[in-house]
């Protein structure tokens, strides 16, 4: 009886995370996102996948080959000399795991976002942004 109650408690606590693993984008569901980013990406803009554990789903089968990946959005404006050279970056967020207000507006004043297949795709730049539909 205690074991059953303990298992039920763990299941209830982990149900949202379990649902996220079931609902995360997989395989070909990433292709429209990849195509959109490749079409609108400028220079060598890196990308961030959030939550971080979705990274493996995003990059399997080389969908984002040739695009640098940051572990966290803050790497675009904090840290060494590389962050000073970043003029823009992308964030692909699922499950409301990213707040665009965290990105310093004085560093990246131009921003845009679009929803593609269950993910929010954000771009932040120092220069104005023009995204086609």
What is the pLDDT averaged over residues 87-97?
Answer: 89
Measured distance CA(55)–CA(35) in Å, rounded: 17
CB 86, CB 45: distance < 8 Å: yes
pTM tops 0.95, yes or no: no
CB 119, CB 94: distance < 8 Å: yes
Higher-confidence position of 127 and 124: 124
What is the pLDDT averaged over residues 68-77?
Answer: 90
Model confidence pLDDT, tens digit, residues 14-63: 655 555 544 466 667 778 888 888 899 988 899 998 887 766 666 665 67
- The side-by-side arrangement of strands in the sheet containing 119-125 is 69-70, 47-50, 88-93, 119-125, 110-116
What's phi and psi for 11, nearest 5 deg? -65, -45
The dihedral built from the CA positions of residue 15, 18, 23 and 25, taken in this order, carries a sign that is positive
């Amino acid at each position: 009886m205690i074991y059953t109650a303990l298992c039920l408690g763990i299941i209830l606590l982990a149900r949202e995370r379990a649902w996220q693993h079931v609902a995360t984008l997989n395989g070909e569901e990433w292709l429209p996102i990849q195509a959109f980013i490749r079409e609108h990406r400028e220079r060598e803009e890196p990308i961030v996948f959030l939550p971080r554990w979705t990274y493996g789903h995003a990059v399997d089968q080389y969908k984002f080959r040739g695009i640098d990946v940051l572990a966290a959005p803050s790497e675009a404006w904090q840290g060494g000399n590389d962050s000073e050279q970043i003029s823009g970056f992308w964030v692909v967020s699922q499950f409301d795991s990213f707040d665009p207000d965290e990105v310093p507006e004085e560093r990246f004043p131009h921003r845009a976002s679009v929803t593609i297949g269950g993910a929010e795709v954000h771009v932040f730049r120092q220069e104005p942004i023009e995204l086609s539909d």
